[in-house]
Amino acid sequence: MNTTTFDLPRRHALQRRDALDWAFAALVLLGGGYAFSRYHASMNVYEQGILLCAMPAMIALGWFWKPLRWLSLAAGAATLVAIGLYGQHTDSYGADLAAGEQVFWLKYLLSSQSAILWMSLLFYMSTLFYWGGLFTGAGRNSAAEVVGSKLAWGGVFMALVGTLVRWYESHQIGPDIGHIPVSNLYEVFVLFCWLTTLFHLYYEQRFATRSLGAYVMLVVSGAVSFLLWYTLAREAQEIQPLVPALQSWWMKIHVPANFVGYGSFSLAAMVALAYLLKTAQSRALWIGLVAMPLGIVALILAVRFVANVDAATIAGLDGWALKIAGVAAFLAVAVALRGRLTRRLPDLVQLDDLMYKAIALGFAFFTIATILGAFWAAEAWGGYWSWDPKETWALIVWLNYAAWLHMRLMKGLRGMASAWWALVGLLVTTFAFLGVNMFLSGLHSYGTL
Protein backbone atom coordinates (compact mmCIF):
# COMPACT_ATOMS: atom_id res chain seq x y z
CA MET A 1 0.00 0.00 0.00
CA ASN A 2 1.30 3.44 -0.92
CA THR A 3 1.64 5.34 2.36
CA THR A 4 2.13 8.63 0.51
CA THR A 5 -1.64 8.74 -0.07
CA PHE A 6 -2.26 9.13 3.65
CA ASP A 7 -2.21 12.38 5.58
CA LEU A 8 0.29 11.98 8.41
CA PRO A 9 -0.26 15.07 10.59
CA ARG A 10 1.70 13.71 13.52
CA ARG A 11 5.44 13.70 13.30
CA HIS A 12 7.64 11.55 15.46
CA ALA A 13 7.60 12.70 19.10
CA LEU A 14 11.26 13.72 19.02
CA GLN A 15 10.84 15.60 15.75
CA ARG A 16 8.16 17.78 17.34
CA ARG A 17 10.59 19.10 19.96
CA ASP A 18 11.75 22.72 19.65
CA ALA A 19 14.92 24.40 20.89
CA LEU A 20 13.46 25.13 24.34
CA ASP A 21 12.52 21.46 24.73
CA TRP A 22 16.09 20.37 24.06
CA ALA A 23 17.53 23.13 26.24
CA PHE A 24 15.35 21.94 29.15
CA ALA A 25 16.43 18.33 28.55
CA ALA A 26 20.09 19.39 28.52
CA LEU A 27 19.72 21.27 31.80
CA VAL A 28 18.05 18.28 33.47
CA LEU A 29 20.78 15.93 32.25
CA LEU A 30 23.51 18.35 33.38
CA GLY A 31 21.89 18.71 36.80
CA GLY A 32 21.48 14.97 37.17
CA GLY A 33 25.04 14.37 36.02
CA TYR A 34 26.36 16.90 38.54
CA ALA A 35 24.36 15.29 41.36
CA PHE A 36 25.63 11.85 40.37
CA SER A 37 29.28 12.95 40.13
CA ARG A 38 29.20 14.72 43.49
CA TYR A 39 27.03 12.43 45.60
CA HIS A 40 27.25 8.97 44.01
CA ALA A 41 29.55 7.75 46.79
CA SER A 42 26.72 8.38 49.28
CA MET A 43 24.17 6.50 47.18
CA ASN A 44 23.54 2.78 47.05
CA VAL A 45 22.76 1.10 43.74
CA TYR A 46 19.01 1.60 44.18
CA GLU A 47 19.35 5.34 44.79
CA GLN A 48 21.61 5.66 41.78
CA GLY A 49 18.99 3.84 39.71
CA ILE A 50 16.25 6.16 40.97
CA LEU A 51 18.33 9.21 40.00
CA LEU A 52 19.01 7.82 36.53
CA CYS A 53 15.30 7.07 36.00
CA ALA A 54 14.24 10.44 37.41
CA MET A 55 16.08 12.39 34.71
CA PRO A 56 14.15 11.07 31.65
CA ALA A 57 10.96 11.18 33.72
CA MET A 58 11.48 14.88 34.48
CA ILE A 59 12.26 15.59 30.83
CA ALA A 60 9.11 13.79 29.70
CA LEU A 61 6.96 15.66 32.22
CA GLY A 62 8.46 18.99 31.17
CA TRP A 63 7.74 18.21 27.53
CA PHE A 64 4.22 17.07 28.36
CA TRP A 65 3.30 20.10 30.50
CA LYS A 66 5.48 23.13 29.86
CA PRO A 67 4.86 25.00 33.16
CA LEU A 68 6.71 22.21 34.94
CA ARG A 69 9.92 23.33 33.23
CA TRP A 70 9.98 26.72 34.87
CA LEU A 71 8.77 25.31 38.18
CA SER A 72 11.52 22.67 38.33
CA LEU A 73 14.25 25.05 37.16
CA ALA A 74 13.21 27.78 39.61
CA ALA A 75 12.96 25.34 42.53
CA GLY A 76 16.34 23.85 41.65
CA ALA A 77 17.98 27.27 41.40
CA ALA A 78 16.54 28.44 44.73
CA THR A 79 17.67 25.22 46.39
CA LEU A 80 21.22 25.69 45.07
CA VAL A 81 21.23 29.23 46.47
CA ALA A 82 20.16 27.86 49.88
CA ILE A 83 22.87 25.17 49.74
CA GLY A 84 25.43 27.83 48.84
CA LEU A 85 24.40 29.97 51.81
CA TYR A 86 24.62 27.00 54.15
CA GLY A 87 28.01 26.10 52.65
CA GLN A 88 29.45 29.39 53.88
CA HIS A 89 28.93 28.24 57.48
CA THR A 90 30.34 24.83 58.35
CA ASP A 91 30.97 22.75 61.46
CA SER A 92 32.92 19.55 62.11
CA TYR A 93 30.56 17.45 59.99
CA GLY A 94 29.14 19.66 57.26
CA ALA A 95 27.01 22.75 56.90
CA ASP A 96 26.13 24.41 60.19
CA LEU A 97 22.34 24.38 60.31
CA ALA A 98 22.40 27.17 62.88
CA ALA A 99 22.97 29.43 59.87
CA GLY A 100 19.28 28.93 59.15
CA GLU A 101 18.59 31.27 62.08
CA GLN A 102 21.43 33.70 61.39
CA VAL A 103 21.66 34.30 57.64
CA PHE A 104 18.90 36.66 56.49
CA TRP A 105 17.85 34.84 53.31
CA LEU A 106 17.85 31.46 55.04
CA LYS A 107 16.01 32.67 58.12
CA TYR A 108 13.24 34.47 56.27
CA LEU A 109 12.95 32.61 52.97
CA LEU A 110 15.08 29.61 52.01
CA SER A 111 15.59 27.36 55.04
CA SER A 112 13.22 24.42 54.91
CA GLN A 113 11.00 25.62 57.73
CA SER A 114 10.81 29.19 56.37
CA ALA A 115 9.94 27.96 52.87
CA ILE A 116 7.21 25.67 54.22
CA LEU A 117 5.73 28.51 56.25
CA TRP A 118 5.68 30.62 53.07
CA MET A 119 3.98 27.68 51.35
CA SER A 120 1.29 27.69 54.04
CA LEU A 121 0.67 31.43 53.71
CA LEU A 122 0.51 31.32 49.92
CA PHE A 123 -1.95 28.41 49.92
CA TYR A 124 -4.19 30.21 52.41
CA MET A 125 -4.09 33.38 50.30
CA SER A 126 -4.75 31.37 47.14
CA THR A 127 -7.85 29.84 48.73
CA LEU A 128 -9.17 33.27 49.74
CA PHE A 129 -8.67 34.73 46.26
CA TYR A 130 -10.28 31.72 44.59
CA TRP A 131 -13.30 32.09 46.86
CA GLY A 132 -13.41 35.81 46.20
CA GLY A 133 -13.51 34.99 42.50
CA LEU A 134 -16.75 33.05 42.94
CA PHE A 135 -18.52 36.26 43.93
CA THR A 136 -16.84 38.71 41.57
CA GLY A 137 -16.13 39.08 37.89
CA ALA A 138 -17.80 37.53 34.91
CA GLY A 139 -17.10 34.58 32.69
CA ARG A 140 -15.11 31.57 33.80
CA ASN A 141 -11.92 33.29 34.95
CA SER A 142 -12.24 36.35 37.19
CA ALA A 143 -9.32 38.58 38.11
CA ALA A 144 -9.35 37.25 41.69
CA GLU A 145 -9.12 33.68 40.42
CA VAL A 146 -6.15 34.58 38.23
CA VAL A 147 -4.39 35.91 41.34
CA GLY A 148 -5.43 32.79 43.25
CA SER A 149 -3.88 30.61 40.55
CA LYS A 150 -0.60 32.51 40.64
CA LEU A 151 -0.49 32.27 44.43
CA ALA A 152 -1.09 28.52 44.16
CA TRP A 153 1.91 28.26 41.81
CA GLY A 154 3.94 30.25 44.35
CA GLY A 155 2.88 27.86 47.11
CA VAL A 156 3.95 24.83 45.09
CA PHE A 157 7.30 26.50 44.37
CA MET A 158 7.97 27.22 48.06
CA ALA A 159 6.87 23.70 49.01
CA LEU A 160 9.36 22.19 46.58
CA VAL A 161 12.14 24.47 47.81
CA GLY A 162 11.34 23.58 51.42
CA THR A 163 11.32 19.86 50.61
CA LEU A 164 14.60 19.92 48.68
CA VAL A 165 16.38 22.08 51.27
CA ARG A 166 15.07 19.87 54.09
CA TRP A 167 16.53 16.88 52.24
CA TYR A 168 19.91 18.65 52.15
CA GLU A 169 19.63 19.73 55.81
CA SER A 170 18.99 16.16 56.95
CA HIS A 171 22.31 15.06 55.44
CA GLN A 172 24.17 17.77 57.38
CA ILE A 173 23.17 16.49 60.83
CA GLY A 174 25.27 13.37 60.98
CA PRO A 175 26.07 10.03 59.35
CA ASP A 176 23.07 7.93 58.33
CA ILE A 177 20.62 10.71 59.27
CA GLY A 178 19.92 12.09 55.80
CA HIS A 179 16.81 10.84 54.00
CA ILE A 180 14.22 11.91 51.47
CA PRO A 181 11.63 13.98 53.40
CA VAL A 182 8.64 11.65 53.13
CA SER A 183 9.14 9.77 56.39
CA ASN A 184 6.63 11.28 58.85
CA LEU A 185 3.29 13.08 58.98
CA TYR A 186 4.87 16.54 58.78
CA GLU A 187 6.79 15.70 55.63
CA VAL A 188 4.01 13.81 53.87
CA PHE A 189 1.50 16.59 54.57
CA VAL A 190 3.81 18.98 52.73
CA LEU A 191 3.95 16.42 49.91
CA PHE A 192 0.16 16.11 49.90
CA CYS A 193 -0.34 19.89 49.77
CA TRP A 194 1.85 20.58 46.77
CA LEU A 195 0.90 17.44 44.85
CA THR A 196 -2.84 18.11 45.21
CA THR A 197 -2.36 21.75 44.22
CA LEU A 198 -0.23 20.80 41.22
CA PHE A 199 -2.89 18.35 40.01
CA HIS A 200 -5.48 21.09 40.33
CA LEU A 201 -3.32 23.54 38.37
CA TYR A 202 -2.91 21.00 35.58
CA TYR A 203 -6.63 20.33 35.32
CA GLU A 204 -7.27 24.07 35.62
CA GLN A 205 -5.25 24.60 32.44
CA ARG A 206 -6.56 21.43 30.78
CA PHE A 207 -10.22 22.40 31.24
CA ALA A 208 -9.62 26.16 30.83
CA THR A 209 -11.42 27.17 34.02
CA ARG A 210 -10.26 28.44 37.40
CA SER A 211 -13.63 28.32 39.14
CA LEU A 212 -12.91 24.94 40.76
CA GLY A 213 -9.94 26.35 42.64
CA ALA A 214 -12.18 27.52 45.47
CA TYR A 215 -13.26 23.94 46.10
CA VAL A 216 -9.98 22.11 45.59
CA MET A 217 -7.90 24.56 47.62
CA LEU A 218 -10.22 24.01 50.58
CA VAL A 219 -8.82 20.54 51.15
CA VAL A 220 -5.29 21.89 50.70
CA SER A 221 -5.92 24.63 53.27
CA GLY A 222 -7.33 22.00 55.62
CA ALA A 223 -4.10 20.01 55.23
CA VAL A 224 -2.06 23.17 55.85
CA SER A 225 -4.04 23.85 59.03
CA PHE A 226 -3.30 20.34 60.29
CA LEU A 227 0.36 20.79 59.37
CA LEU A 228 0.63 24.02 61.36
CA TRP A 229 -1.17 22.52 64.35
CA TYR A 230 1.04 19.45 64.22
CA THR A 231 4.13 21.64 64.08
CA LEU A 232 3.08 23.63 67.14
CA ALA A 233 1.85 20.64 69.12
CA ARG A 234 4.68 18.22 68.42
CA GLU A 235 7.55 20.36 67.07
CA ALA A 236 7.24 18.10 64.05
CA GLN A 237 9.50 20.29 61.92
CA GLU A 238 12.56 18.83 63.69
CA ILE A 239 14.45 16.35 61.50
CA GLN A 240 14.64 12.94 63.17
CA PRO A 241 16.63 9.79 62.30
CA LEU A 242 14.68 7.11 60.48
CA VAL A 243 13.36 4.17 62.45
CA PRO A 244 14.75 0.84 61.15
CA ALA A 245 11.60 -0.08 59.21
CA LEU A 246 11.89 3.13 57.17
CA GLN A 247 15.56 2.71 56.31
CA SER A 248 14.75 1.31 52.91
CA TRP A 249 14.91 2.50 49.33
CA TRP A 250 11.31 1.30 48.95
CA MET A 251 10.18 4.36 50.91
CA LYS A 252 11.47 6.66 48.17
CA ILE A 253 8.99 5.25 45.63
CA HIS A 254 6.17 3.81 47.75
CA VAL A 255 5.27 6.99 49.62
CA PRO A 256 5.22 9.41 46.63
CA ALA A 257 3.12 6.96 44.61
CA ASN A 258 0.70 6.69 47.54
CA PHE A 259 0.28 10.43 47.74
CA VAL A 260 -0.38 10.80 44.04
CA GLY A 261 -3.36 8.60 44.83
CA TYR A 262 -4.38 10.56 47.95
CA GLY A 263 -4.07 13.88 46.14
CA SER A 264 -6.08 12.73 43.13
CA PHE A 265 -8.82 11.22 45.31
CA SER A 266 -9.06 14.45 47.31
CA LEU A 267 -9.31 16.52 44.15
CA ALA A 268 -12.06 14.22 42.83
CA ALA A 269 -13.98 14.56 46.09
CA MET A 270 -13.94 18.36 45.96
CA VAL A 271 -15.08 18.28 42.33
CA ALA A 272 -17.85 15.96 43.50
CA LEU A 273 -18.84 18.54 46.13
CA ALA A 274 -19.05 21.19 43.41
CA TYR A 275 -21.12 18.81 41.26
CA LEU A 276 -23.58 18.13 44.08
CA LEU A 277 -23.99 21.80 44.95
CA LYS A 278 -24.69 22.50 41.29
CA THR A 279 -27.26 19.79 40.70
CA ALA A 280 -28.62 18.12 43.86
CA GLN A 281 -31.92 19.01 45.53
CA SER A 282 -31.70 21.11 48.68
CA ARG A 283 -33.21 18.41 50.88
CA ALA A 284 -30.63 15.83 49.76
CA LEU A 285 -27.84 18.34 50.38
CA TRP A 286 -29.04 19.18 53.86
CA ILE A 287 -29.29 15.50 54.76
CA GLY A 288 -26.06 14.38 53.15
CA LEU A 289 -23.75 17.35 53.64
CA VAL A 290 -24.99 18.80 56.92
CA ALA A 291 -26.95 16.19 58.88
CA MET A 292 -24.34 13.47 58.32
CA PRO A 293 -21.40 15.33 59.94
CA LEU A 294 -23.70 16.48 62.75
CA GLY A 295 -24.61 12.84 63.29
CA ILE A 296 -20.90 12.01 63.56
CA VAL A 297 -20.54 14.80 66.13
CA ALA A 298 -23.44 13.31 68.12
CA LEU A 299 -21.78 9.88 68.03
CA ILE A 300 -18.47 11.34 69.25
CA LEU A 301 -20.23 13.14 72.11
CA ALA A 302 -22.07 9.95 73.04
CA VAL A 303 -18.76 8.09 73.29
CA ARG A 304 -17.28 10.98 75.24
CA PHE A 305 -19.99 11.00 77.92
CA VAL A 306 -20.95 7.33 78.06
CA ALA A 307 -17.72 5.39 77.56
CA ASN A 308 -15.13 5.08 80.30
CA VAL A 309 -12.23 6.92 78.66
CA ASP A 310 -9.26 8.81 80.06
CA ALA A 311 -8.77 12.58 80.08
CA ALA A 312 -6.47 12.58 77.06
CA THR A 313 -9.04 10.67 74.99
CA ILE A 314 -11.80 13.04 76.13
CA ALA A 315 -9.73 16.03 75.00
CA GLY A 316 -9.10 14.37 71.66
CA LEU A 317 -12.80 13.57 71.16
CA ASP A 318 -13.78 17.14 72.07
CA GLY A 319 -11.29 18.46 69.52
CA TRP A 320 -12.62 16.26 66.75
CA ALA A 321 -16.24 17.07 67.61
CA LEU A 322 -15.43 20.78 67.31
CA LYS A 323 -13.63 20.31 63.98
CA ILE A 324 -16.44 18.24 62.44
CA ALA A 325 -19.04 20.71 63.73
CA GLY A 326 -17.06 23.44 61.96
CA VAL A 327 -17.16 21.42 58.74
CA ALA A 328 -20.93 21.00 59.13
CA ALA A 329 -21.35 24.76 59.64
CA PHE A 330 -19.30 25.50 56.53
CA LEU A 331 -21.33 23.03 54.47
CA ALA A 332 -24.56 24.55 55.76
CA VAL A 333 -23.42 27.97 54.53
CA ALA A 334 -22.37 26.42 51.20
CA VAL A 335 -25.81 24.84 50.74
CA ALA A 336 -27.51 28.13 51.62
CA LEU A 337 -25.37 30.03 49.09
CA ARG A 338 -25.29 27.29 46.47
CA GLY A 339 -26.62 29.58 43.73
CA ARG A 340 -23.76 32.05 44.16
CA LEU A 341 -21.17 29.30 44.57
CA THR A 342 -22.09 27.36 41.45
CA ARG A 343 -23.10 29.93 38.85
CA ARG A 344 -19.62 30.04 37.29
CA LEU A 345 -18.72 26.37 37.52
CA PRO A 346 -18.13 24.28 34.38
CA ASP A 347 -21.08 22.28 33.08
CA LEU A 348 -21.99 18.99 34.72
CA VAL A 349 -20.53 16.83 31.94
CA GLN A 350 -17.15 18.50 32.36
CA LEU A 351 -17.26 18.14 36.15
CA ASP A 352 -18.14 14.47 35.80
CA ASP A 353 -15.31 13.91 33.32
CA LEU A 354 -12.78 15.63 35.60
CA MET A 355 -13.94 13.54 38.55
CA TYR A 356 -13.43 10.36 36.51
CA LYS A 357 -9.97 11.36 35.27
CA ALA A 358 -8.78 12.24 38.78
CA ILE A 359 -10.00 8.95 40.26
CA ALA A 360 -8.54 6.93 37.38
CA LEU A 361 -5.13 8.56 37.84
CA GLY A 362 -5.23 8.16 41.60
CA PHE A 363 -6.31 4.52 41.37
CA ALA A 364 -3.46 3.66 39.02
CA PHE A 365 -0.84 5.15 41.32
CA PHE A 366 -2.48 3.81 44.49
CA THR A 367 -2.39 0.33 42.96
CA ILE A 368 1.32 0.72 42.20
CA ALA A 369 1.94 2.03 45.73
CA THR A 370 0.09 -0.92 47.28
CA ILE A 371 2.17 -3.42 45.30
CA LEU A 372 5.38 -1.60 46.23
CA GLY A 373 4.25 -1.58 49.87
CA ALA A 374 3.84 -5.35 49.77
CA PHE A 375 7.42 -5.77 48.53
CA TRP A 376 8.63 -3.36 51.22
CA ALA A 377 6.72 -5.31 53.90
CA ALA A 378 8.33 -8.55 52.72
CA GLU A 379 11.76 -6.98 53.11
CA ALA A 380 11.07 -5.31 56.47
CA TRP A 381 8.82 -7.83 58.23
CA GLY A 382 9.23 -11.05 56.27
CA GLY A 383 5.77 -11.20 54.68
CA TYR A 384 3.96 -9.49 51.82
CA TRP A 385 0.71 -9.02 53.75
CA SER A 386 -0.06 -9.22 57.45
CA TRP A 387 -3.56 -7.65 57.76
CA ASP A 388 -2.04 -4.81 59.73
CA PRO A 389 -4.70 -2.05 60.22
CA LYS A 390 -2.91 0.25 57.77
CA GLU A 391 -2.73 -2.49 55.15
CA THR A 392 -6.37 -3.45 55.72
CA TRP A 393 -7.58 0.10 55.27
CA ALA A 394 -5.38 0.56 52.21
CA LEU A 395 -7.17 -2.46 50.75
CA ILE A 396 -10.55 -0.91 51.65
CA VAL A 397 -9.57 2.30 49.85
CA TRP A 398 -8.41 0.31 46.82
CA LEU A 399 -11.63 -1.75 46.71
CA ASN A 400 -13.76 1.39 47.07
CA TYR A 401 -12.26 3.09 44.03
CA ALA A 402 -11.99 -0.17 42.08
CA ALA A 403 -15.74 -0.58 42.56
CA TRP A 404 -16.35 3.06 41.54
CA LEU A 405 -14.39 2.61 38.32
CA HIS A 406 -16.03 -0.75 37.61
CA MET A 407 -19.50 0.75 38.00
CA ARG A 408 -18.61 3.66 35.75
CA LEU A 409 -16.94 1.66 32.99
CA MET A 410 -19.19 -1.41 33.06
CA LYS A 411 -22.51 -0.02 34.29
CA GLY A 412 -22.33 3.59 33.14
CA LEU A 413 -22.35 5.14 36.61
CA ARG A 414 -22.75 8.91 36.23
CA GLY A 415 -24.25 11.93 37.91
CA MET A 416 -25.23 12.35 41.54
CA ALA A 417 -24.62 8.73 42.53
CA SER A 418 -21.00 8.83 41.39
CA ALA A 419 -20.51 12.25 43.01
CA TRP A 420 -21.84 11.13 46.38
CA TRP A 421 -19.66 8.02 46.15
CA ALA A 422 -16.54 10.06 45.36
CA LEU A 423 -17.27 12.41 48.27
CA VAL A 424 -17.77 9.56 50.74
CA GLY A 425 -14.56 8.06 49.33
CA LEU A 426 -12.68 11.04 50.77
CA LEU A 427 -13.85 10.04 54.26
CA VAL A 428 -12.64 6.48 53.71
CA THR A 429 -9.30 7.74 52.39
CA THR A 430 -8.90 10.19 55.27
CA PHE A 431 -9.45 7.46 57.83
CA ALA A 432 -6.91 5.25 56.06
CA PHE A 433 -4.44 8.13 56.02
CA LEU A 434 -5.00 9.65 59.48
CA GLY A 435 -7.62 7.69 61.41
CA VAL A 436 -5.60 4.49 61.48
CA ASN A 437 -2.61 6.40 62.88
CA MET A 438 -4.81 7.95 65.57
CA PHE A 439 -7.04 5.11 66.72
CA LEU A 440 -5.38 1.84 65.72
CA SER A 441 -1.99 0.30 66.33
CA GLY A 442 0.09 -2.19 64.42
CA LEU A 443 3.25 -2.57 62.42
CA HIS A 444 2.83 1.02 61.16
CA SER A 445 2.67 2.44 64.70
CA TYR A 446 5.75 4.60 63.97
CA GLY A 447 3.34 6.92 62.16
CA THR A 448 1.11 7.64 65.16
CA LEU A 449 0.02 11.13 66.07
CA distance 237 to 112: 9
The pLDDT, as a whole number, for residue 309 is 72
CA distance 143 to 156: 20
The answer to whether the CB of 415 falls within 8 A of the CB of 363 is: no
CA distance 143 to 137: 7
Count of residues for the chain? 449
Determine the number of helices (DSSP H) and then strands (DSSP E) in the chain: 17, 0
Residue 345's CB is within 10 A of a number of other CB atoms, namely: 21
pLDDT in tens, 325-374: 888 898 888 888 888 888 888 899 999 999 999 999 999 999 999 999 99
pLDDT at 10 over 60: no
pLDDT in tens, 207-229: 888 989 999 999 999 999 999 98
Average pLDDT, the chain: 87
Residue 216's CB is within 10 A of a number of other CB atoms, namely: 29
pLDDT at 125 over 90: yes
The pLDDT, as a whole number, for residue 338 is 85
pLDDT at 237 over 50: yes
